[in-house]
Amino acid sequence: MSEETPQLGLCCTALNDPLLQHLNGFPPGLILTTLLSAMSRNAITVWDREGTIMLANSVMARGHRQKSIQDLLGKNIKDLTPEPWALERIALVKQAIDSNQTITVLDIQTGCRMCCRIVPMIARQCNRELSCALITLEPISVNGYRHIQEQENHDLVVHAQNISLGKLDVLTNRELEILALMGQGLRTKEIAKQLSRSVSTIENHRDKIGMKLGVKDRSELIRMANLAVLQVEDASRTRINFTL
C-alpha cells in the first residue's frame, strides 16, 4: 500500500457512539476483526475511492483467489478483475462517497444474482477528510430481488451493466431473454406473444437452451434462471468472462 493511500484508522473515540456504549473497554480493532471473521457468508471489503483494497474478510480473499487476507490488502481491484468491471465499481464507490449515500447494486456474478451494498465512510482527522467505502456482497433470491426493487428507503438502487453469467454465457441474447421469461413463470405461448415470435420459434430456442446447458428438465432450466434472478434486460448488458 502506498504512502498516499488513506489508512482506515480506528481510535477509542469510535466507542463514543451510543450504539457501542456497552462495549467500552474493548479495543475497536478487536471488535472489527471479530465481526469480519464471524461473517462467513458475506464477502466484505473496504476500498478507497480509487479502488485500492484497505480491508477485507476471508470470504473476499478466497473470492479473489488470494492465499490470505494480507495478500489482498493494498492491491487495486483493477489488478484483480477485468477492467470494465472494475471501472464500473470504482465509479460507483466514488459516487457513494461524493454523495454520502449508500448505493445498492444488483449484479450477476458467475450466474448468481448478488446484492452489493456500497456504504460511504467519511471522517475528519487532523483537519483533513478521510473517505472510503464499505462494500458487502451476498447472494439474493427472487424474493430478495423483488424486495430490494420495491422497498422504499433512502438507498440508490442500480443495476450493474457489466455482469458475469457463468454457465449461462453460452446462450445468445435471445435465448437469455427466453430463459428469463421462463424463470418468471411464462408459458411458451406467453413468451411468443411478448417477444413477437411464433410458438415454434420459441420451442426451438428452448430446445437449444437445454442442449447448450446440458439440461433436459424444464424445472432445472427454471432453477438456473432463478439462481441468476434473470431479467430480460440482462441480455443487453455487457458480459464479463471471469470468476470472482
Output 114-118 pairs: Cβ under 8 A, ≥24 positions apart.
114/138, 114/139, 114/140, 115/139, 115/140, 115/144, 115/148, 116/89, 116/160, 117/155, 118/92, 118/93
On average, the pLDDT of the chain sits at 86
Could you read off the pLDDT of 65-87 as tens digits, one per residue? Answer: 888 888 889 999 999 999 999 99
Question: Going by C-beta distance under 8 Å and a sequence separation of 6 or more, which residues neighbour residue 134?
Answer: 44, 45, 46, 118, 119, 121
Query: How many angstroms separate the CA atoms of 199 and 168, rounded?
Result: 23
Which residues lie closer than 8 Å to 157 by C-beta, 6 or more apart?
103, 104, 106, 148, 149
pLDDT score of 236: 96
What is the predicted pLDDT for the residue at 19?
64
For the domain made up of 24-163, give the CATH fold: Beta-Lactamase (3.30.450)
Sorted by where each begins, the domain ranges of the chain are 24-163, 167-227
CATH topology for the 167-227 domain = Arc Repressor Mutant, subunit A (1.10.10)
pLDDT, position 13: 47
**In the chain, which stretches have pLDDT less than 70?**
1-17, 19-23, 26, 28, 31, 36-40, 152-154, 243-244
